[in-house]
A and B are shown apart, each in its own frame.
Chain A
Amino acid sequence: MNKTLPQEYYKQLEEIQVADFVLIELTLYLDTHPTDTQAIEQYNQFAHYSKQLKEKFESAFGPLQQGSLNRTPEFWAWKSGPWPWQV
């Protein structure tokens, strides 16, 4: 039985990708500009936002990465569920 994923899954995943991409760019920038306070503030803003997005996604669709919370106490969710290349 192959259940198709809800559209919400892709939408939230893309939002996470957008936030994480900005984080990566800002990380690289801040490595060479450690005192740029405005960039640091933007980085923290996006880090917080990304954490929220991941929290929302994981509570709805399961763990995103190893080390994520296993939210179903009676079932090990990490092994199941569509893998990134199947999504």
Chain B
Amino acid sequence: MKSNPKTFTKVKSYVPYHSPCDPCPPIGRKYYSTPPNLYLGFQPPNLPQFSPIEALKRGTLWPVFYDFYENPYKKRAGKEHE
């Protein structure tokens, strides 16, 4: 699905079904990352670039692909156990 690269979210989540017969406690909300390259398709030429030093730090030459990972489970740990 081709959508404007700026309207997608980088992390998505879902709640798996928890069966009453399931002996384990429910997992609750599970998260999965959806990086920018999924939404860009074929990379257009002349995209804006990071400076070389910045590119090495960020791990990519083009800001459009930059995808910082912070652990959704950790951040949402508080809300998880309502």
Residues of A within 8 A of B (CB): 17-19, 21-22, 25-26, 29, 32-33, 36, 38-39, 46
Contact = CB atoms under 8 A, between A and B. Distances in A.
B69 to A, nearest CB: 19
A19 B55 CA distance: 10
Contacts of A21: 52, 55-56, 61
Contacts, number: 29
Main DSSP-derived SS at the A contact region: helix
Contacts of B55: 18, 21-22, 25
Contact of B45 (A25, A26, A36): A36
Question: Chain B's interface: helix, strand, loop or mixed, by majority?
Answer: loop
A83 B12 CA distance: 43
